[in-house]
Structure 1
Amino acid sequence: MLEHGGNLREAARAYDRPLEQWIDLSTGINPHWYPVPATTPNAWHRLPEADPALPDAACAYYGAPAMLPVAGTQAAIQALPRLRAPGRVVVAAPSYAEHAHHWGQHGHQLRQVPYAQLNDAVDECEVLVVCNPNNPTGARIAPEQLLAWAETLAARGGWLVVDEAFGDTEDAASLGAYAGQPGLLVLRSVGKFFGLAGLRLGFVAAHPTLLEKLAAMLGPWTVSGPAQQVALAALSDTGWQQAMRARLKNQGERLRQLLASCGIASTGCALFQWWPEARAEDFHRHMAERGIWVRLFRHAARGIRLGLPPNEPAWQQLEQALIAWNKENT
């Protein structure tokens, strides 16, 4: 398996510190999660037949014409490469590593291409995969550019796959409204913005014919009954969504400014900040020794990613750790 953030038990073992004494900033998951409502008692008893109200709510929230609920976008990432005959695939780099990992496992000719070179690569592939905004760097591609690429690829039966897992605070940039056209697939995650990663729920927006093929491949009962009920409440709660967007934008800017005050020029989105760090392993260790678990990238995107602290004491602990790092390295 590939390495991911959220591996707090690994941190506890490596540094001999109990789980409850850690601040986990290693993911971009909202630390202020949606208040989960009580589910109906039979949600745990009945087989989870698909509730049509859930995709309807998702279409309304994401602005897409048709959506398929999946067990996290990870389920779609693993399945999509099996829906096409082997061909030429370009995955934007760096980005969420699972995309390249799975496209490379099913006979496709895979290339990872830097964001700045994607326009030249479109004519040399049948499938282009982009995270927008990107994870981990926060890089963004204008919707107009993405739609132009989607048209070019669709003309020869290709796909543009756009992973918008971190797009909930940037709805104006979403391609969800266009996902009914052939060849454009948009992935959305409930786990990030709503802070419900344990729910394991995401959605795919695409042409209905393609969604039918994906649903057939994934099989029955892919989303649990409790997950359907919780997600339906979260997707319908516009008041919570509006307040949380404002809160996250403020906190994302606070994190960027905190890093800047310590001489770190970062990029990212409302849920995380990232920067290339020459001494990435040392920074990671420095933070871990102070009970702060951050995301270390060793390879293509050598650097550090930080999520949002969950409360004011955690903000203060992070600030003190950053000040100490700055003093030791200037």
Structure 2
Amino acid sequence: MKPSVLKHPQHGGQLNVYTQHYGISQALWLDLSTGINPGGYFKSDVPDNVLRDLPHDDDGLQQAASDYYGSDALLMVPGSSWAIQNLPQVLLKHRPSINKVLLPQLGYSEHQQAWLASGVMAEFYSGTPSAAQLKTCDVCVLINPNNPSTHLLSKDTVLNIAQQLQQHSAWLIVDEAFLDTRPCNSVTGENEENTIVLRSLGKFFGLAGLRVGSVIACDSILTHLNSLLPPWALSHPARFIAKHALQDTVWIQQTRLRLQQQANKLAELCEQVLGGQGGDAWRILQTDFFVTVLCESKNMTLECHHQLCEQGIYTRLLDHQCGIRIGLPNDRSQDWQRLEQGLKQVASILKKETTHVDA
């Protein structure tokens, strides 16, 4: 077996790392590493003046985002990751006594990195934080649905957590980057005083390259975040495309349905190929954007990831190397067939290795 890549990309993408390691041309890879909608909003013709002129704030983007998210308490930012990186210092300005942040045990690692860099102690929870944990924290971070564990919280559960935290003036940060397909679970329109909601156009709209996100929060938080933004924080083309995407209600409704159907298809494929191997070797978990395959051992995870790479199929190796995340293929039947064959090859190889060990 070829040695594993020494340093895997942190968030998927960066395919060149694997093309060099496995000697497979980039054009021949099936890249399923990011969880981004492969059929994104790619239908905007950008006029020449948008490419030429400096952006301006009164172009209708703010209103389009407010209408889409159901809140006027909103700030457009250059990607939700920008907000994740800057929120610790903003909240520490509001409350210098912040000592503890609650974070998911398995989740988008940028949250943990930002808080630890700010010198705040982290405590971790699995699934949903307990009442005891909520009583003793100063900030709680929810990722809904969780990336990559897929754990999804109802709106009522999130609001209940916000109310528990409000009793001792603690903050709640809700990362809803993957929630566009499930608006009934979102708290963007609730305007809880202690709640900060992060949204992105990168996943559902498939526009990660534009770096457009939103923060929904109280005025004092938005004012402080706004003071940290540089001039023209969002490019003119990014603002133009984002506004049109947020206003295209027909495309939004069709895409919600399509992503849910494709995610069900992907989960069924993984269950059929991997789940049928028996035992507890695999756990198949699902969102509307990706499927997470949890493996019983680190060695199995690395082998699964490696064998797919050998076939030019790039999936996301989870941070703790406990599984892989598989994004949705394009609508093309050959991509689905290729993934099916790749998974069957992995299952066959690992079954032989397990049988050999048992013998």
Shorter-normalised TM range: over 0.9
2:36 equivalent in structure 1 = 29
| 8 A Cα contact 2:201 2:213, kept in partner | yes
Root-mean-square deviation (CA, aligned residues, Å) is 1.6
Partner-residue secondary structure (3-state), 1:273 = strand
Deviations 1:29-75 (A, max 9, x none): 00001123122323233332223521211121122232111111000
Partner-residue secondary structure (3-state), 2:46 = coil
The 5-angstrom pairing of residues 287-306 of structure 1 reads: 287-299=308-320, 302-306=322-326
Tell me which of 304, 324, 330 is aligned to 2:345. 324
Provide the rounded CA distance (Å) in 2 between the counterparts of 1:185 and 1:52: 25
Provide the rounded CA distance (Å) in 2 between the counterparts of 1:227 and 1:51: 14
Deviation of residue 107 (structure 1)? 2.0
Partner-residue secondary structure (3-state), 1:275 = strand
The 5-angstrom pairing of residues 1-330 of structure 1 reads: 3-51=10-58, 53-83=60-90, 84=92, 85=96, 86-178=98-190, 180-264=191-275, 265-277=283-295, 278=297, 279-299=300-320, 302-310=322-330, 311-330=332-351
Letter in 2 for 1:25: L
Provide the rounded CA distance (Å) in 2 between the counterparts of 1:206 and 1:40: 33
Q: Which moved more, 1:310-319 or 1:218-227?
A: 218-227
| 8 A Cα contact 1:30 1:192, kept in partner | yes
Q: Which runs of 5+ in 1 are unaligned?
A: none
Q: Which moved more, 1:147-156 or 1:27-36?
A: 147-156
| 8 A Cα contact 1:280 1:298, kept in partner | no
Deviation beyond 4 Å, 4+ runs, structure 1: none
Letter in 1 for 2:42: P
Deviation of residue 273 (structure 1)? 0.5
Instruction: Report % sequence identity.
Output: 36
Q: Normalising by structure 2, what TM-score? A: 0.87
Partner-residue secondary structure (3-state), 2:113 = helix
| 8 A Cα contact 1:55 1:66, kept in partner | no
| 8 A Cα contact 1:136 1:268, kept in partner | no
Provide the rounded CA distance (Å) in 2 between the counterparts of 1:128 and 1:219: 28
Deviations 1:140-191 (A, max 9, x none): 122212112212223333210000000011110000111x231101111101
2:3 equivalent in structure 1 = none
| 8 A Cα contact 1:252 1:270, kept in partner | yes
The structure whose Rg is larger is 2
Letter in 1 for 2:156: E
Letter in 1 for 2:195: L
Q: Which runs of 5+ in 2 are unaligned?
A: 1-6, 276-282, 352-359
Deviation of residue 268 (structure 1)? 2.1
Q: Which moved more, 1:230-239 or 1:9-18?
A: 9-18
Partner-residue secondary structure (3-state), 1:266 = strand
- Using a 3 Å threshold, how does the CA distance of structure 1 residues 118 and 28 change in structure 2: closer, same or farther? farther
| 8 A Cα contact 1:131 1:162, kept in partner | yes
Deviation of residue 87 (structure 1)? 2.5
Provide the rounded CA distance (Å) in 2 between the counterparts of 1:218 and 1:237: 27
Deviation of residue 117 (structure 1)? 4.2
Provide the rounded CA distance (Å) in 1 between the counterparts of 2:87 and 2:319: 27
Count matched residues.
328
Provide the rounded CA distance (Å) in 1 between the counterparts of 2:226 and 2:169: 20
2:278 equivalent in structure 1 = none
Letter in 2 for 1:251: Q
Letter in 1 for 2:231: P
